[in-house]
Chains A and B, each alone.
Chain A
Amino acid sequence: MENLLEVRNLRKDFQTKKGLLQAVNDISFNVRKGETLGIVGESGCGKSTTGRAVLRLVEPTGGEVRFEGQNILGYSSRKMREARKDMQIIFQDPFASLNPRMSISQIIAEPFDVYRMYNPSERAQRVQELMRTVGLSNKLVNSFPHELDGGRRQRVGVARALALSPKFIVCDEPVSALDVSIQAQILNLIQDLQQKLDLTYVFISHDLSVVKHISNRVAVMYLGKFVELTTSRQIFANPLHPYTQALLSAIPIPKVNVEKRQRVILEGDVPSPVNPPAGCIFSGRCPYVMPRCREAPPPVVEAEPDHFVSCYLVSDKMPPHVPATAHSAGDSSPT
């Protein structure tokens, strides 16, 4: 399948008082046209920064982001503005991401101001159309964000992201602030829109059940790196990285009388991304840690078709003809 987005060796460092914080640490992945790639991880793992770096909402420190084959990191700000028509974002907090002094129609139409599109009557028509698409009643057109509940606000956020008919949307924790019954409505909306408008998503969340539900493939992120990337079916059926296994086992399953997974309780907290451990980033908490893990980072290997993982326990079992350095070359990385 064709790749819409190709990310190679993406890095984003932040200079902090305590030292260099490597929020995104040499990540490579592809997003195929029409798919949803989920990124899951705990607070501070760098998943939101990855989403923003891909859109250049934070400027990456290094690497390449190719959108439809073009490296957008080399674009001038004028060219980038054009490119952003195709690349949009939905934010987590519908309370903080909508300007409280703008009406719903102004919020949805703001992208048209930026790009000087449509005359007033066309614009009003387009706003109505967008509101219908996301399931907002026309009566709300002159309302303000504070008059709406969280679910409707998030619909406004979705409508705004759709305004310029993008091809690609980063959904950054779009349902995390919502109650379960509303969360389910928004998840269904996001899925329907993908079908109808031929959209490609990167879907970021801390909730593995949500990510697994909506994604075709899932990347598990820890301390600035992807530790595992595979189909959403395989991530549950055959998790290979010890962190993925621990993450899965930690989720309380809303069922009784089912065989519960053997719970792996991780010791300690996520270490600071300032001065991360040498070697494997998970070595500090890994229940299977070996001396070697603390020395050099394990290679990324394709354990089975479409299943990439970075762990010595897996790479040691791989036949020797698989080049252990396949990943670092970039082009042979997760496709």
Chain B
Amino acid sequence: MAERLLEIDNLRVEYHTDDGVVTAVEDLQLHVEKGQTVGLVGETGAGKTTTALSIMRLVPAPPGRIVSGSVHFHGEDLLHKRLDEIKKIRGNKISMIFQDPMTSLNPVLTIGFQIEEAVVLHQGLDARAARARAGEMLRLVGIPPEREGDYPHEFSGGMRQRVGIAMALSCNPELLIADEPTTALDVTIQAQVLELMKRLRQQFSTSMLLITHDLGVVAEVCDQVAIMYAGTIVEYADVNTLFTNPRHPYTRGLFGSIPSLDEEVTRLNPIKGLMPDPTALPSGCKFHPRCPMAGEICKTRVPQTTNLGQGHSVHCMIYEGLVPGYEE
């Protein structure tokens, strides 16, 4: 078995707001093996970004609080490290690409400076070497190094995201967390960025946690997929299994909701209802009010993990034999 680079166990994160306590992430288990790309898929409010921020210890506190659990990176629990130790890891061994390249870059600093800052801080390069590294990183992502003196607003959205990637890769991280890296981009630009990410991953064998709501992007770049709903992972499998044999009713519902480009589907088959109110999550299985398969027991009992073999696991009472399943 490959080495586990990142292992998240029983993670629970809460936000204490005026409207009550929001449990954004509940008993989350997830791991990333060396060299793998794991997709974390879910809709707005599923807890994807909170999970990512927890790994980096960037959950805004208050109102956020990591209540329990562990995040092991190279066998060491990041949640129990001192802040100065975490700072050495952030942006160095673990780095992040954010969704919106306009707000994640500092508008009053040149992009060259912003890349150099990281390598000076983490790798102790002198000014000249840092400058050379920044130029090299820019070339790598297809931006002429002469533009290092330009400011973020002088670039288009796609180029800005490539600057974000250059910055994230500048210290040659072992783990890259990409939070919806292409969501703000047009499709032709998205294709450029995805192509770039795939190429760089091969070149540097960086492990990646890719957060997205787009199953198309997942099929394109991920090895493993975790489907997240209301703070928990409801299904986990390798990308082939998940796309050919989805088991959880929510996963199936997601596939039924996407318009197909290559098939004639006259009517979509959406999931009924809405995402639950995060301050008042349903009892039992959190998906039961929207689930077409739900039985009485789903209202009260929390589903356990069922292993279906070959690393495919699902959180659903159907596979515990407690609720009638699909007719296959």
Contacts and interface: CB of A to CB of B under 8 A. Distances in A.
Given A181-B270, A269-B189, A252 B194 contact: yes
Contact of B244 (A208, A247, A256): A256
Nearest to A212: B261
Q: Which of B156, B270, B271: most chain A CB closer than 10 A?
A: B270
Nearest to A149: B274
A327 interface: no
A98 interface: no
A188 B258 contact: no
Given A181-B270, A187-B259, A188-B270, A42 B217 contact: no
A184 B269 contact: yes
Contacts of B188: 42, 246-247, 250, 265-266, 270
Interface in A108-159: 149, 151-152
Which residue among B44, B272, B274 has the maximum number of chain A CB atoms within 10 Å of its CB?
A: B274
Contact of A179 (B213, B243, B267, B268): B213
B302 to A, nearest CB: 22
A43 B14 CA distance: 37
Interface residues of A, number: 42
B40 interface: no
B186 A270 contact: yes
Interface in A254-277: 254-258, 263, 265-266, 269-270
Nearest to B250: A181
Given A181-B271, A188-B268, A254 B156 contact: no
B254 interface: yes
A151 B44 CA distance: 12
A191 interface: yes
Interface in B210-228: 213-220
B186 A209 contact: no
Contacts of A179: 43-44, 213, 275
A95 interface: no
Interface in A49-78: none
B159 A269 contact: yes
A188 to B, nearest CB: 6
B213 A180 contact: yes
A254 B194 contact: no
A225 B220 CA distance: 31
B1 interface: no
A252 B185 CA distance: 13
A179 B261 CA distance: 18
A328 interface: no
A206 B186 contact: yes
Contacts of B195: 263, 265
B253 A181 contact: yes
Contact of B275 (A149, A248, A249, A265): A149
Contact of A213 (B253, B254, B259, B271): B259
B7 to A, nearest CB: 26
B256 to A, nearest CB: 7
Contacts of B215: 254
Contacts of B267: 188, 191
Contacts of A236: 261-262
Contacts of B265: 213
A256 B258 contact: no
Contacts of B257: 180-181, 183-184
B239 interface: yes
Contacts of A208: 187, 261
A209 B264 CA distance: 11
Contacts of A185: 270, 272
A184 B187 CA distance: 20
Contact of A257 (B190, B192, B244): B244
A253 B240 contact: no
A188 B254 CA distance: 15
A254 B186 contact: no
Given A233-B264, A246-B188, A263-B191, A182 B274 contact: yes
A326 to B, nearest CB: 30
A210 interface: yes
A255 B243 contact: yes
A192 to B, nearest CB: 9
B304 interface: no
A251 interface: yes
Contacts of B254: 180-181
B255 interface: yes
Contacts of A257: 240, 243-244
Contacts of B216: 251-254
A257 B253 CA distance: 21
B192 A265 contact: yes
Interface in B247-291: 253-262, 264-265, 267-272, 274-275
Interface string A29-52: 000000000000011000000000
Contacts of B239: 256
Interface string A17-36: 00000000000000000000
B281 to A, nearest CB: 15
A206 B157 CA distance: 16
A144 B178 CA distance: 36
Contact of B190 (A181, A214, A248, A250): A250
8 contacts: A179-B43, A181-B257, A182-B270, A188-B267, A251-B261, A266-B188, A269-B158, A269-B159
Interface of B: 43-44, 156, 158-159, 186-192, 194-195, 213-220, 239-240, 243-244, 253-262, 264-265, 267-272, 274-275
Interface of A: 42-43, 149, 151-152, 179-185, 187-188, 191, 206, 208-210, 212-214, 233, 236, 246-258, 263, 265-266, 269-270
Given A253-B261, A253-B262, 5 more contacts: A179-B44, A251-B216, A254-B219, A256-B219, A269-B158
Q: Which 5 A-B pairs have the closest CB atoms?
A: A252-B216, A184-B270, A213-B259, A184-B257, A250-B191
